[in-house]
Amino acid sequence: MPSYVPRAGLRVDAALAEFIETSVLAATGVAPESFWHGYASLLADLAPENRRLLQQRAVLQAQIDSWLSARRGQVHDPVAWRAFLTKIGYLVPEGPDFSIATGPVDPEIATLAGPQLVVPLSNARFALNAANARWGSLYDALYSSDALGAKPDTAALDTSRAADVVAWSADFLDKAVPLQGASHVGARAYSLEGSTLAIHTADGRVVALENPAQFIGTGQQGGRRLILLQNHGLHIILGFDPSHPVGAKTASGLCDVELESALSVIQDCEDSVTAVDAADKVALYRNWLGLMRGDLAETMVKNGKTLHRRLNPDRAFVTPDGAAISLPGRAVMLVRNVGHLMTTDAVLWGDQETPEGMLDAMVTVACALHDLGRETGQRNSRSGSVYVVKPKMHGPEEVAFADKLFARVEDILGLARNTVKLGVMDEERRTSVNLRECIRAVKHRLVFINTGFLDRTGDEIHSCMQAGPVVPKAEMKDMAWLAAYEAGNVDAGLATGLRGHGQIGKGMWAKPDAMAEMLAVKAAHPLAGASTAWVPSPTAATLHAIHYHQVDVAARQTALQSRLRASLDALLTPPLLAGRNLSAAEISHEVDLNCQSILGYVVRWVDQGIGCSKVPDIDNVALMEDRATLRISAQFLANWLLHGMISVAEIDASLHSMARRVDDQNAGDPAYQPMAPGFDGVAFLAARDLILQGASQPSGYTEPLLHRARRAAKAAISPE
């Protein structure tokens, strides 16, 4: 059991209190007494409003359930549907045109377009690797992934593969930074002639860049000579070292091509972590504090070698006219707090848990005081901002509440108004259909909106749970609501002036080992007008950066501003089977597919505290899974169960069969606890509850059941 200490009428976990008072607030000028009295006042004023907003969600959903139940089996009537949603206040009136007024904002978020990494903050090594993924070797990304075919199966240099990498990269350079009437392929030398970059071609000519302004400068890194180029605002570094194994085989000595990759990183306290109690929260906050102070470090042993991870320094270059310039060595970091739903035992009011999202707001912003107060050295935000991503908000009133919450936090911590900039995740249906009004509610601090297909699909199913059985999971991507959702998000961002002030984002690439496929298809995100899109690894960030060289996002957004607005009726169309019959085999396969996905994720979440990882699917394809993917599968099966498409007996039979398969898939993990043959472990029963109780869970969220199960599993390990 945790130990508590009294603070300003609250009961605070002793470890959290000690951490905040001796580490977070040290040298910030904020006294512990001010912090706790301010937080107690914040809770007294805002916790009741938080509860009211959650109750409003439940009331609206009950009204929707009743309306849909009464019309089940009827042809969808978009006019009546929209009128009903307007009558109950689910759809709100849209006000006059406006533009956001956010500032100041770092260019990585306001004006540049490029990849965004999302990483669990619970893992210090992952957090550091993500922050340092601002720069990535194109050669390494191509060589070590499946981007150019099957990965090499030996540690020795595959010279044929290396040659393919060099050729592919030269072709990329020809498109991103083309030469005048020549190619980078086989170039003999890159030299500086006055202030001009001269390229000595394979056929003996000396040519310049087609656009000489793309040459930014030169640099040195150890024994490596560097040439700095730029395209669409993103930098490219050519590295030359004739003694390098690759450089030795090229006429120019070119040994690597580095790409500016992850411009920004979301350090996640939410869907990708398993923070269920005070101890877990302190561990998250400690890593965030280290990132904000710049002193987070991690030591690891890999292949018999001891490696030290720390935040990379900035990179120095000299412009063609001799001026020194510095480029950031790491991504700009945002922190994702939790939503409004969950409570935490880290701070109690009497015997009652308090809203977890409010604690996240106070502590993550307080940690960032160290970055804001730094007068020398590297800063996360050169503009003096704190970037917080707020997920799972339902409609404009909840977004306005988040704005109020962070204003109170700013007052308590002595920050100027709107120092905290917010990202609003467009992942709940009531936010999507009212997105412009959600943006209006936070127009002075908004820097980010995105589409999150996974959570959004889970909420789509739950919102229309009573309408009828939904289509199989794989068919969701072809439904009318999804196309309207993806386009409507971009439309709203452009119409409200987000361009030049913040990011319009798209969702995660969920196949971390399928880089060839990602290269082939993820250009669709910048083509859709997104200035950023999520990737699961530094390698993926480097390869996705290529798409932002291929697509001029600013020009694309200009072109999209004149298109017709996405259809609200399409966005409101439920993804139903609508009388279509599925075969017994199709139904059985769909049940197995989703049961396997649920079990594969939940057993790691509950038993081992792994919130995000590569989980093999039913066909042994590794997929990046987090609570959002779990929400879809659980809500999908809950929907089919509700409408008689499947029975509890069929679910149980599939869960038993798929548990054996998941056990086999994890047989090589010494920490893994098999679910078969007992099928009575905490994790297995939690997976079953997520399906059988899915229709009654608030908004179809998985957190309440997962947290209960994880706490039980931790108590079984350490009953004291």
Q: How far apart are CA 185 and CA 31, in angstroms?
A: 61
* 277 counts as catalytic: no
CB 148 within 8 A of CB 161: yes
- Residues 6 or more apart in contact with residue 165 via CB below 8 angstroms: 139, 142, 143, 148
Q: How far apart are CA 424 and CA 445, in angstroms?
A: 10
Q: How far apart are CA 384 and CA 695, in angstroms?
A: 44
Instruction: Give the count of alpha carbons within 13 A of 256, CB side only.
Output: 19
- Pair of tokens at residue 327: 């480029």
Q: What is the DSSP letter of 8?
A: T
Alpha carbon distance, N-terminus to C-terminus of the chain: 6
Q: How far apart are CA 642 and CA 687, in angstroms?
A: 17
* 161 counts as catalytic: no
Q: How far apart are CA 177 and CA 631, in angstroms?
A: 44
* Backbone φ, ψ for residue 229 (5° rounding): -120, 170
CB 462 within 8 A of CB 517: no
CA dihedral 188, 192, 193, 197 (to 10 degrees): 80
CB 594 within 8 A of CB 637: yes
Q: How far apart are CA 283 and CA 124, in angstroms?
A: 10
User: Which 3 state secondary structure label does DSSP give 355?
Assistant: strand
Rg of the chain over all Cα atoms, to the nearest angstrom: 26
List 336, 408, 429, 440, catalytic entry: 336
Distance of CA 111 to the CA centre of its chain: 19
Q: How far apart are CA 118 and CA 536, in angstroms?
A: 6
Q: How far apart are CA 370 and CA 368, in angstroms?
A: 5
Closest CA to 450 of 518, 531, 336, 509: 531
Beta strands in 289-419 (DSSP E): 297-302, 305-310, 315-318, 324-327, 332-336, 343-349, 352-355, 386-390
Helix-then-strand count for the chain, H and E: 24, 26
**Can you name the residues that pair with 265 across neighbouring β-strands?**
117, 333
- Residues 6 or more apart in contact with residue 605 via CB below 8 angstroms: 274, 611, 683, 706, 710
User: Which 3 state secondary structure label does DSSP give 525?
Assistant: helix
List 330, 626, 688, 710, catalytic entry: 626
Beta strands in 37-188 (DSSP E): 116-120, 135-137
Q: How far apart are CA 321 and CA 333, in angstroms?
A: 32
CB 60 within 8 A of CB 72: no
Closest CA to 339 of 420, 408, 398: 398
Q: How far apart are CA 36 and CA 79, in angstroms?
A: 51
DSSP codes, 455-471: HHHHHHHHHTGGG-PBP
Closest CA to 209 of 225, 230, 224: 230
- List active site positions: 336, 626
